[in-house]
Amino acid sequence: MAPTAIVHLAGHAVVADSIADPRRDLETNLVPTIALLEAIRAVCPQTPLLFASTGAVYGSHATQPFTELDPVFPVPPYAVSKLASERYCASYAAVYGLRTASLRLFSVFGPGQRKQVVYDLIRKLLADPDRLEMFGDGSQVRDFNPVANVAPAFLVALDRAAFTGEVYNVGGPEALSIRALVTRLAALLGIDPVLAFTGTHRIGDAECWLADSSKLQSLGYHPAMSVEDGLRETIGWVRSEEEPTGSPKA
């Protein structure tokens, strides 16, 4: 029996790792996507495939917030492999008649995610509540989105997307600068750390990543959980993962 739908979330999503080993990134992200498309074409060509992509495909340019019609300028290999995977999904829809669509996720965070800026900041603040050192200058802006909003976005797309190879942005309820994010986290933790910024920027980090999600919203997507509630939930999860000594659980 053919599956009702396929959601493709597999892959490796660490930008620094893709820069260190671009071949592994390609073999982990793009090659399996093509293999999955080939399997669907052979076994269940009418089953819709929903691919998890990234807002990083837009790169860093002046147009904000990004719409799906804006040009894409992926910089790190991770963003390149994700965009290539999107394009293969669209190609298989156009050439072979497969039913595919892609969601470009922006700055997702929440329980279970042991990476990315929110998790890293919480860990650092718990380890040293008096001082926090960060990359950049704190002015970088992100469209932070609790994972509790992202799961429903997939369900909306599975139910109502056209599945003709199209893409949809999945943005959050509120954009925050990194400095504002740290201020929110510190308040929730009840601390007042000294903030130190290195002024250095990592390759692939844009000054601003904001999503125009109106295309998906027209299908019924509405991010119901606030960033603040998402941060509170994530802090609780990170704390639950810590031993009394502050060391992560095995």
The total number of structural domains that make up the chain: 1
The answer to whether residues 170 and 221 touch, using CB atoms and an 8 Å cutoff, is yes
pLDDT value of position 250 = 42
Is residue 248 situated within a structural domain? no
Assess if residue 102 is contained within a domain: yes
Please indicate, yes or no, if residue 249 is contained in any of the structural domains.
no
**How far is it, in rounded angstroms, from Cα 72 to Cα 35?**
25
Residue 213's domain spans which residues?
6-241
- Report yes or no on 27 lying in a domain: yes
d(CA 82, CA 15): 11
What is the C-alpha radius of gyration for the chain, rounded to an integer number of angstroms?
19
Kindly report the length of the chain: 250
Which among 191, 81, 74, 71 is positioned nearest to 125, based on CA atoms? 191
pLDDT at 22: 96
How much is the pLDDT for 207?
A: 74
Q: Is residue 37 part of a domain?
A: yes
C-alpha of 115 from chain center: 11
Q: Which residues of the chain have pLDDT under 50?
A: 245-246, 250
Beta bridge partners of 100: 49
Which residue type occupies 190?
Answer: G
pLDDT of residue 37: 98
Q: What is the DSSP letter of 174?
A: -
Residue 225 lies in a domain: yes
Specify whether the CB–CB gap between 66 and 169 falls below 8 A.
yes
CATH of the domain at 224: 3.40.50.720
pLDDT at 33: 98
Adjacent-strand bridge partners of 51: 8, 102
What is the predicted pLDDT for the residue at 134? 86
Residues 153/217, Cβ–Cβ less than 8 Å: no
The whole-angstrom separation of Cα 10 and Cα 13 is 9
Strands (DSSP E) found in the chain: 6-8, 49-54, 100-105, 108-109, 131-134, 141-142, 145-146, 166-170, 176-177, 194-197, 208-209
